[in-house]
Chains A and B, each alone.
Chain A
């Protein structure tokens, strides 16, 4: 374990903005892709298709 406390972990030795900005963007984009695909699948299923005019 490289950290003594949770606040130390979040601070990342003063580079928190850079490190969490990287991790956050990665998590958001990957989660967004998965959610987008789930929505696309629902819309493409025969049950989803019927709802459209």
Chain B
């Protein structure tokens, strides 16, 4: 075999490996997702540890709100992720709906519980922040109400998919619900501008920059990036669980899980 055909063969193999669509096959995606989940989990641990250290230990006390303001280091990242995860969920649901890719639909379903978790945390930490600063755990203000609707959208998505036995039909129905609900995300984000709300305006915005002290901002952004990495890691881990559950009898699952099929050797005595 000459050099040239060898090179051609390797180039061909590399091209095949680089095609992103091969990752849409569950057997190819499973091991890659496993490695990526660990990478993002490690990144999340480092980022959250650094962000929490800066936010709860190094950052100075706020002159208006005292130390109650430190809730911002979990509240804002959780609230951001509740919206970002919803957008990601709707995106993958749409991809699954349009291109009929099972894996995209599974990604959407895998994101929903984590999105619901961050929505609960945004509401919970918001209540704990509202009590000392506004004097109320809850008010029916546009920001809080639309965030509560976001929680119902997540729970509705999860319940709807759980209620439909056929997996592909559940994927399609969930995708429709997720897409209709996307309208709620800009409503949450702009609610503090569109309506006169008790909730304060954005501390950080893409157009206006930040109104926070640098240390506080760095701590909050590190926590937000950490929550983001955590969400990716957890969603990937959940997709792997779903793949194992849905395709557990396939040969690639046994190979990926590193277990050999049990071979029973029949003996004359039946022992």
Contacts and interface: CB of A to CB of B under 8 A. Distances in A.
Interface of A: 1-3, 9, 12-15, 18-19, 21-23, 25-26, 29-30, 33-34, 37, 40-41, 44-47, 49-50
Nearest to B243: A44
Contact of A46 (B66, B240, B257): B257
B204 interface: no
**Looking at chain B's contact residues, is the secondary structure mostly helix, strand, loop, or mixed?**
helix
A21 B74 contact: no
Contacts of A2: 57-61
Contacts of B244: 41, 44-45
Interface of B: 52, 56-61, 66-68, 70-71, 74-75, 78, 113-114, 117, 120-121, 124-125, 128-129, 131-132, 230, 234, 237-238, 240-241, 244-245, 248, 253-254, 257, 259, 262
Contact of A13 (B67, B113, B131, B237): B67
A19 B66 CA distance: 11
A2 B66 CA distance: 12
A13 B128 contact: no
Main secondary structure of the interface of A (DSSP, over half): helix
Contact of B237 (A19, A23, A37, A49): A37
Contacts, number: 90
B113 A19 contact: no
A15 B240 CA distance: 41
A44 B238 CA distance: 11
Which of B57, B113, B128, B240 has the most chain A CB within a 10 Å cutoff?
B128
Given A22-B125, A33-B113, 5 more contacts: A13-B67, A19-B70, A22-B71, A22-B75, A33-B234
Tell me which of B58, B70, B117 has the highest count of chain A C-beta atoms within 10 A of its own C-beta: B70
A14 B66 contact: yes
